[in-house]
Amino acid sequence: MLLVAAFGAFLAFLDSTIVNIAFPAIQKYFHSQDISSLSWVLNGYNIAFAAFLVAGGRFADLLGRKRMFIYGVVLFTVASALCAVADSVEWLIAYRVLQGIGAAVLVPASLALVVEGFDAPRRAHGVGLWGSAAAIASGLGPPIGGALVEASSWRWVFLVNLPLGIVAVVVARRGLVESRASGRRRVPDLRGAALLASSLGLVTLALVKGPDWGWASSATIGATVAGAVAMAGFVLSSRHHRAPLIDPAFLRIRSFVAGNALTVVASAGFYGYLLTHVLFLHYIWGYPLLRAGLAIAPAALVAAVVAAVLGRVADRHGYRMIVVVGALIWAGSLLWYLERVGSTPNFLGEWLPGQLLQGVGVGATLPLLGSAALAGLSAGGSYATASAVVSSARQVGSVIGIALLVVVIGTPARGAAEEALRRGWALAALCFVVVALGAMFLGRARHVAADDAGREATRQPNPPARRPTPRRVSAAADQRPATSPEVDPLANLPLFAGLDAVALVELRNSAEHVELEAGSYLFRAGEPADALYVVRSGRLQVLRDDVVVTELGRGEVVGELGLLIAAPRSASVRAVRDSTLVRLTKSQFDKIADAGVLGALVQVLATRLHQTAPANVPRRTPEVVVAVVGVDHYAPVSLVARELVTALSSRLKVVDPGRVDRDGLERAERAADKVVLHAAVDAAGWRDFCLRVADRVVLVTGDPAPPSKLLPVRATGADLVLAARHVGREHRRAWEELITPRSMHEVHPGQVAAGLRPLAARLAGRSVGLVLGGGAARAFAHLGVLEELESAGIVVDRFAGTSMGAIIAAFAATGMDAAAVDANVYEYSVRNNPTGDYTLPTKGLIRGRRTHAGLHSSFGELLVEELPRQFRCVSVDLMAKRPVVHRRGLLADVVACSVRLPGLYAPIAYGGSLHVDGGVLDNLPVASLSGEEGPLIAVGIGARRSPRPASAPKHARTAHVPGIVDTLVRTMTIGSAMTQSAVLAQADVAIQPDTSDIGLLEWHQIDRAREAGRVAAREALPQIMALV
């Protein structure tokens, strides 16, 4: 990036000096023109360059620095070709003005790319290297120009830009990354730019024509007054325009004001003596233009080395003293020329020492003044605009320097040319003395400004909350009291806990115990309500229209509402596992329904109403019985069960009761948080019992391929442990299609505990799930969230996402750490800009080829089933008009379904249907991950906005009309945005980064979005740590 951006600066500044060396040849070609008229060939370029630099910088901040860099290079190259074919001074000056505008566009964009690309501690070094490239160009310009003029003609100093410009465009398109300024961007003050150009042109006209017109003539005074009026108009325009060329905030930064003012003075001296050197060597010493160009090259080469070295020194010690010493050395080099250089050529003895001193002075002064001017800018600021002001100051100085040189030299008489040119050296020396004195106003500026330091400080993560120390829960500490065989089990059910001994005897004698096998229905919706049931052991599902709305476990009541109000059953109830229930008819219930029982029943109803889950999110009770079941004879069932018990025991009370009957299992359930049963494939009866009574089934296979024989019914949706040595993608795909496992885990000999850790976390309800919402470029905030979670030691086993959130979640689910995810997202989104291939909007604004190629380049042939961490993403099936949760298939394809925002992209055909962006219906797919398996962290984008201060200007509070793309995206996702607050409430922790000032397609704003994610995640860390 630095190389490409610096090459653009090299191109523009090469032209500044290469034309200087060709000036005598141009003067000879247009021999009828005097020096004051021909000086416009130089000053026309410099005035246009200076006047439109800031506007060019503003446009770079507005439209993109890479884009404006390329546009500027193209304009500069075309104008160079026109200059080469100009047949009159007037046309040559006009084309030079056009060339100056091209340089004004490319130079600030070039420097801004460098400043944006380097962080605060290295920014001065980067700017120094950029300045070194400019210095090298200034040094190489004279010898290259001399060689071209000597070999052919002055026209070749312009034609040489053609191949260089073409190379710059090609390399920039491939190597540069787009960036823009943050916040709302407005069209710059073009009226102010025109007034500034007019002012500089009129004042320059008065200076160069004053000796001819007379300093007291009406023409000179009129041009001066008109220039002053134009400058006043520029100031007024800047004060009232919403996007002035010079931001008033810049003028409050002392280093910025002082650095630019001194740059004007230093540039006046630099360009003044540079032209003086060329004229002296050519006319006094009689050097050919090539030799003259070579004679002034050493200073530029020395300056490049000095600038690169002193840039690092300035980072540590500041700019003031370095600039003071450099300017004095610079002035001393001119004094050397005045005192030691004579009329007779003596390159080694007289000229070269001055060149070496000059190189040190230039390298220690001019580039560092630019760095000092930019030192006070905060990260993410309008670098293109600020750097344009710096470059504009340099060009204003060149205009003033050349104009003053024309005044000082005048039209000397024969034999007086040497004395006249020495006055040019004296003028330059005076400029550098002024710079040395003025450098004291730079203060102790260093490149890490206070606001940068504060920003860096905020990036340091807060000390994470102390994680609770894992402990083995004793029986005494268990919330559920352990019961002895003598205690009546009915008394332990919450509904009957308040009954006295007589009522319990009556209940035991009258109640009916119901055994319900797994998969069978207790009752169906619409049937008469003739009894209520209390779950003694097992697990039930409540279904409405075949959709599970809740699950009920031990001690919970079912069917009570219909009994109390004598209404038909409103839902169906089905057993998940073999269950035992206590059945009470209306008459039986009336016998024991004292105040205590009715109060308990009302409490059950109120609690259930309070805990009613949102639509499509069933409420579940804790899963107690876990059955580890072998699929084949190679399955290490005992090993897996033992490791799970060990892992679960770190936080829960876990028992492995061995082979028990129903009563023994019921006692174990009452005494522990988890009961782990295990059965090998050859223990058919025991295995069937385990499958019937299990709340959750874990299948273990030693053969990677699914068996040919029929698996038990409860294998569907079970957790799967693959204990084979070599598990291929075809095996994972086959298992996924066969049983649609709840989760899939691969274990290897010697690493069984590590392989089972994610499964144990799920069973314990400690598996962290992270849900990342869509939001295009704003979703880069997820990167900051990942960094903060990783820094806090939080392991995320489950990921889900929509749109851009799906892309980031997919990278994370591959097992990458936060830094690798960041690098891959940067490569996919920022460097390659997947939304950059616009087309005629017949089906969408974007072709989608870049997106398709980028996703397949990032994920290759990877399957969702192969991912080491669970991954889900959501798209919308246009034909079925419903959201689709993708859990299998080619990762690149399913993610592509999730990012196809309608209007921007055409729908994508997948699985026999048409899919569009999941954000249309579900921009934050919390429901795609199970909340019972562990805490869910949801990161919503666009749900939070920083309050605007009341003191903000009136125009800042007016509604901002977004661009067409932003409007389209917001419109398409408005439905899911309206429900985002409700969706966030389903998660255990909601993180809402403030990305309101980032445009949806501003991929270059990755740093700001990432930082917003960091800040929001740090705020939520205490809450997260309490859950894990």
CA–CA distance, 170 with 629 (Å, rounded to integer): 62
**pLDDT at residue 858 in the model:** 93
pLDDT of residue 497: 61
Instruction: Please identify which residue in the block is written with the tokens 């951006």.
Output: 5
Q: What percent of the chain has pLDDT over 90?
A: 37
Question: ∠ CA 735-738-740 to the nearest 5 degrees?
Answer: 80
Residue 818 has what pLDDT?
A: 93
Two structure tokens written together for 1020: 């939520």
Where the chain has pLDDT below 50, the residues are 184, 379-380, 447-487, 595, 613, 615-617, 943, 947, 949-952, 954-957
Task: Give strand ranges (E) for 56-108.
Answer: none
The reported pLDDT for the residue numbered 15 is 77
Measured CA to CA, the distance from residue 858 to residue 812 in angstroms comes to 12
Taking the C-alpha atoms of residue 989 and residue 938, their distance in angstroms, rounded to an integer, is: 6
**Do the beta carbons of residue 527 and residue 569 sit within 8 Å?**
yes
Instruction: Identify each DSSP E strand in 660-765 by its residue range.
Output: 674-679, 696-701, 719-722, 743-746
Could you report the per-residue pLDDT of 836-893, keeping only the tens digit for each? 787 777 788 888 888 999 999 999 999 999 999 999 999 999 999 899 999 999 999 9
Residue 60 is encoded by which pair of tokens? 């770079």
State yes or no: is 917 an active-site residue: yes
Comparing CA positions, the residue from 133, 160, 135 lying closest to residue 149 is 160
Distance CA 995, CA 284 (A): 65
Considering the candidates 132, 138, 398, 803, report the single residue annotated as catalytic.
803
d(CA 18, CA 16): 6
What predicted TM-score, i.e. pTM, was given to this entire model?
0.61
> What is residue 969's predicted lDDT score, i.e. its pLDDT?
63
| H or E element at residue 582 | strand 579-585
- Asked if residue 123 lies in contact with residue 447, where contact means CB atoms within 8 angstroms, the answer is yes
Q: Give the tokens for residue 665.
A: 């299992």
Q: Which pLDDT belongs to residue 500?
A: 65
Residue 87 annotated among the catalytic residues of the structure = no
* SS3 state at 121: helix
- The predicted structure's pLDDT at residue 297: 82
Catalytic residue (one of 656, 673, 917, 922): 917
Question: Please, what is the average pLDDT of the chain?
Answer: 81
Task: List, in sequence order, every residue forming a beta bridge with 719; answer none if it has no partner.
Answer: 698, 743
